[in-house]
Amino acid sequence: MAIHTLYPAERGNLRLSFEYFPPKNDEMEVQLFQTVSDLSAFGPAFVTMTYGAGGSTKARSLTAVRRMINEEGCADTAAHLTCVGASRAEVDAIVTEFIDSGVRHFVALRGDPQGGIGARYEPFPGGYETAAALVAAIRSRGDFEISVSAYPEKHPESPNVDADIDMLKRKVDSGATRALTQFFFDNNDFERYLERVRRAGINIPVVPGILPINNLTQVRKFAGLCGATVPDAIVTRLIHLDESPQERFKEATLIAAEQIVDLARRGLRDFHVYTMNRSPLVSAVCDLVGFERVKRTVLQATGAAA
Ligand code: FAD
């Protein structure tokens, strides 16, 4: 059985979503929108735009989301939003700005402490205290899609997985319609987590977060901060390829494709890919798995699109 590529009969109903972050300068802006354009070839069900800690990229998030919706043809852009560093009135005003910009899907988060990951989280005075409270506030505004986070390997602040699942349940009870997970690399961790989520009576889609590894050192550092594990088997496959970018790219493609193919064979249909605003590796993974490129791109390339 192929381990990197799905057979055509296995590909039915697979859906992709892509996560982007707002650019910090002109060069990053060019790269973001080139990536968005490249990856639109895979016809994602939706894309998401992150929201910076402490509201540091509030304006950039809004600008990027507006461009995605109004200029890049990404009507299904979900706006991330956190409770950090803002009063309820300020958060409500941002929600209004997103809605007025055409947003119909939010990713509602508590956010990291203003002191950075690892610092103690203090709710902002007069702000929303939890992601569940933010979900309820957005739900009160209308019939929006509301995605929330989930942590197959436990959130670092959480005493145990049950506390995380209780928090997820509170978010669902407040109106969340989908969970997007933190990235993970061991599908058994995800499957065990999903079983516990279902046993807790949570029935919304829980979409696995896939992070193709562009840079092993960075991913190990980031994983350490957010409580995710990079298995030794993956480190071993990549660590000796630092000096061979082409081999490293190929191996990273195989690793992510194997993970998606295995999840698809376990019955998963939706995949949320952390793009890091770069398309080559993500495109290579999607091609290898067997995601079809939508015809629209071919038409556009020949100038035949309306
Ligand atoms: P929650 O799910 O609300 O909480 C995480 C865990 O912390 C809970 O499960 C619980 O165990 C514990 N906890 C939280 N509050 C309490 C409480 N009051 N009492 C007891 N325990 C509590 N960060 C950004 O800044 N911007 C983004 O755009 C962004 N996007 C993300 C997208 C995804 C898919 C994911 C997985 C994470 C994202 N993050 C983002 C990171 C996220 O903000 C951090 O992980 C943050 O520390 C937790 O926010 P949350 O909404 O996931 O928290």
Residue nearest to atom 22 of ligand 1 (CA): 158
Residue 303 falls inside a structural domain: no
Ligand 1 atom nearest to CA at 182: 36
Residue nearest to atom 11 of ligand 1 (CA): 158
Does any domain span residue 299?
no
Of 149, 166, 197, 273, the one to substitute when testing ligand 1's pocket (max ligand atoms within 8 A of C-beta) is 149
pLDDT of residue 262: 98
Atom of ligand 1 nearest to the CA of 157: 7
pLDDT by residue for the chain (306 residues), tens only, comes to: 799 999 999 998 999 999 999 999 999 999 999 999 999 999 999 999 999 865 557 899 999 999 999 999 999 999 999 999 999 999 999 999 999 999 999 999 999 888 777 788 889 999 999 999 999 999 999 999 999 999 999 999 999 999 999 999 999 999 999 999 999 999 999 999 999 999 999 999 999 999 999 999 999 999 999 999 999 999 999 999 988 999 999 999 999 999 999 999 999 999 999 999 999 999 999 999 999 998 754 444 444 333
Inter-residue contact 288 to 259 (CB < 8 Å): no
Strands 46-49 and 77-81: parallel
Helical (H) or strand (E) element with 285: helix 280-289
Q: How far apart are the first and last CA of the chain?
A: 41
Q: Is 275 helix (H, G, I), strand (E, B) or coil?
A: coil
Check if the beta carbon of residue 296 is closer than 8 Å to that of residue 44.
no
Spacing, Cα 167 to ligand 1 middle (Å): 10
Mutate to test the pocket of ligand 1, among 94, 110, 226, 277 (most ligand atoms within 8 A of CB): 110
What is the number of structural domains in the chain? Answer: 1
Is 297 domain-assigned? no
pLDDT at 305: 37
What is the 294 CA–ligand 1 centroid distance (Å)?
34
The residue whose CA has the least distance to atom 40 of ligand 1 is 111
**CB–CB of 180/80 below 8 Å?**
no
Catalytic (active site) residue 10: no
Q: How far apart are CA 148 and CA 159, in angstroms?
A: 20
CATH number where 35 lies: 3.20.20.220
Q: What is residue 56's predicted lDDT score, i.e. its pLDDT?
A: 59
Measured at the CA of 51, the angle between CA 109 and CA 206, to 5 degrees, comes to 45
pLDDT value, residue 297: 47
Catalytic-labelled residue, pool 10, 19, 122, 145: 19
Q: Which residues line ligand 1 (CB under 6 A)?
A: 50-51, 53, 80, 82, 107, 109-112, 130-131, 149, 155, 157-158, 163-164, 167, 180, 182, 209
Specify the amino acid at residue 103.
V
CB neighbour list of residue 174: distance below 8 Å, 6 or more residues apart: 132, 133, 135, 136, 139
DSSP category for residue 132 = H
Q: Is residue 16 part of a domain?
A: yes
Query: Is there a contact between 281 and 30 (Cβ–Cβ < 8 Å)?
Result: no
What is the three-class DSSP state of 184? coil
Sorted by sequence, the CB contacts under 8 Å of residue 186 that are 6+ apart come out as: 229, 231
- Domain span including residue 105: 11-289
**Residue having the nearest C-alpha atom to atom 3 of ligand 1:** 131
Closest CA to 184 of 250, 246, 263, 242: 263
Residue 6 lies in a domain: no
CB 24 within 8 A of CB 32: no
CA of 131 to the centre of ligand 1 (A): 7
pLDDT of residue 298: 45
Residue nearest to atom 33 of ligand 1 (CA): 149
Neighbours of 275 (CB within 10 A): 24
Ligand 1 center to 85 CA (angstroms): 14
What local confidence, expressed as pLDDT, does residue 120 receive? Answer: 83
**Is the residue at 296 inside a domain?**
no
Element (H, E) at 147: strand 145-150
Quick check: is 4 in a domain? no
Measured by CA distance, the residue closest to atom 36 of ligand 1 is: 182
Name the one residue in this structure whose structure tokens are 């987590």. Answer: 193
> Which atom of ligand 1 is closest in space to residue 84's alpha carbon?
25
**Residue 18 domain flag:** yes
The CA-atom distances, in angstroms, between 26 and each of 30, 80, 98 are 6, 22, 22
